[in-house]
């Protein structure tokens, strides 16, 4: 960002105040943001007919089955935000919530807290669950580390539990239209029946399976392991492709209709193809030095968006060209979320950016608004029903989960 614009942002930003910056492009070399599309969509996506398995809610770690972190309901605040409620959370909270069915699911150490999305009041809690769940049809599927449980979303009542004997960890499941639940159990991939947890099939892989497999092309499950392996498995568990990456993935994979995107601990983001073409016929289309992205990457509008603890980077999904970098401050527990042609990300404040001003990423990003708090912003943000949910430092000693609209 040019120094003149940074100086302007610093001078007009004040703690607890949203600053709308549309129309001030003449003060810098950056274009101003484009007019966002109208709020909402004519029809919510059908997860059974969507390549991304989107439901219109932020119902899993990466929003949808493909982990793209792009909302499907077409709703997001683009002109600034006001606070609807806040709930205090521990300082060391490092996971963003999921939000679905009017409920917010926020991990708190080894307890999952479930809050009313409208008011922030606590509805129920469950101990022994330290990760975000998968929400589908008013059922929360959670991992205890050794088992998968199905809980009633409105009460927390347990419907069933499936213990999986393994020397490793049982991971949070993924699904495509609730056809089956796919989770890791140590170095095994296991498919469960959503109705009762019956095991349908399992398959051995190399390395501890990581949380939140992605769906690719509505057919393949993308499985990443701590050994740097990435597998494409069909709905019956049959293998379609595998890659050996040089380092452990930092976060769950993401996918669009062309590629699978994986960020690794060597500081590189990889675009993987399933057709055997690319670098050295390895099925790697491109690789870009982006830094780590611990909390996930976003894939939207032809861009892979990576927040690496210092800056947000936009990389072309087709070519791997880096279109822009944007300083977000020194904080790694944030990841981009996308809605209404706007990317939201934390860091030293909440940033809302137009990634493609003038319908081109080459001039981006352009600032829509910023919101400062007492300190760092993240984990999150996530989006649901036009509301941003994010953890932020709200005074010297207090951290809170905020609902901003």
For 60-85, what is each residue's pLDDT tens digit?
999 999 999 999 888 999 999 999 99
Query: Residue 28: what pLDDT?
Result: 35
Position with higher pLDDT, 18 vs 329: 329
Q: Give the integer Cα–Cα distance in Å for 342 and 78.
A: 7
Residue 55 has pLDDT above 80, yes or no: no
Confidence of residue 27 (pLDDT cuts 50, 70, 90): very low
What's the mean pLDDT in 362-388?
Answer: 96
Q: If residue 134 lies in a helix (H) or strand (E), which one and from where to where?
A: strand 134-136
Percent of the chain beyond pLDDT 70?
88
What's the mean pLDDT in 153-179?
Answer: 94
Q: Give the integer Cα–Cα distance in Å for 169 and 165.
A: 9
DSSP helix/strand/coil, 285: strand
Query: Residue 46: what pLDDT?
Result: 66
Show the beta-strand stretches assigned E in 138-218: 139-143, 147-152, 158-163, 174-175, 181-185, 188-192, 199-204, 214-216
Does the pTM surpass 0.85? The reply is yes
Closest CA to 143 of 121, 115, 175, 173: 173
Residue 18 has pLDDT above 70, yes or no: no
Closest CA to 309 of 324, 323, 321, 327: 327
Confidence of residue 248 (pLDDT cuts 50, 70, 90): very high
Percent of the chain beyond pLDDT 90?
80
Q: Give the integer Cα–Cα distance in Å for 339 and 305.
A: 13
Following CA atoms 84, 90, 92, 95 in sequence, which dihedral angle do they give, to the nearest 10 degrees? -50
CA distances from 279 to 82, 194, 282, 287 (A): 47, 39, 6, 9
Closest CA to 128 of 152, 104, 110, 106: 110
C-beta separation of 32 from 357 below 8 A: yes
């Amino acid at each position: 960002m040019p120094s003149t614009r940074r100086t302007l942002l610093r001078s007009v930003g004040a703690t607890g105040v949203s600053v709308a910056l549309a129309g001030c492009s003449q003060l810098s070399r950056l274009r101003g943001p484009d007019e966002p599309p109208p709020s909402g969509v004519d029809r919510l996506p059908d997860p059974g007919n969507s390549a991304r398995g989107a439901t219109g809610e932020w119902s899993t770690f990466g929003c949808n089955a493909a982990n793209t972190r792009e909302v499907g309901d077409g709703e997001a605040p683009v002109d600034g935000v006001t606070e609807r409620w806040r709930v205090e959370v521990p300082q060391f909270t490092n996971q963003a919530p999921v939000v679905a069915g009017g409920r917010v699911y926020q991990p708190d150490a080894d307890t999952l807290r479930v809050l009313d999305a409208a008011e922030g009041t606590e509805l129920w809690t469950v101990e022994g669950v330290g990760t975000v769940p998968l929400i589908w049809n008013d059922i929360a599927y959670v991992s205890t580390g050794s088992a998968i449980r199905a809980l009633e979303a409105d009460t927390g009542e347990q419907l069933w539990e499936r213990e999986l004997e393994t020397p490793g960890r049982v991971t949070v499941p993924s699904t495509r239209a609730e056809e089956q639940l796919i989770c890791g159990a140590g170095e095994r991939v296991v498919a469960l029946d959503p109705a009762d947890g019956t095991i349908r099939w399992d398959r051995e892989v190399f390395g501890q399976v990581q949380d939140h497999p992605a769906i690719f092309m509505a057919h393949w499950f993308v499985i990443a392991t701590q050994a740097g392996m990435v597998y494409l498995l069909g709905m019956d568990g049959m293998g379609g492709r595998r890659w050996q990456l040089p380092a452990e993935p930092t976060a769950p994979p993401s996918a669009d209709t062309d590629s699978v995107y994986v960020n690794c601990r060597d500081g590189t983001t990889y675009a993987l193809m399933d057709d055997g073409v690319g670098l050295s016929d390895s099925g790697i289309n491109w690789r870009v030095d982006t830094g780590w992205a611990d909390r996930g990457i976003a894939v939207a509008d032809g861009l892979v968006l990576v927040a690496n603890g210092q800056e947000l980077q936009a990389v072309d999904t087709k070519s791997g060209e880096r279109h822009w970098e944007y300083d977000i401050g020194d904080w790694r527990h944030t990841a981009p979320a996308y809605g209404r042609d706007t990317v939201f990300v934390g860091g030293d404040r909440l940033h809302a950016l137009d990634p493609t001003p003038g319908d081109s990423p080459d001039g981006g990003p352009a600032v829509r608004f910023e919101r400062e708090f007492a300190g760092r912003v993240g984990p999150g943000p996530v989006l649901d029903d036009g509301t941003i949910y994010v953890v932020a430092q709200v005074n010297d000693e207090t951290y809170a989960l905020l609902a901003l609209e």
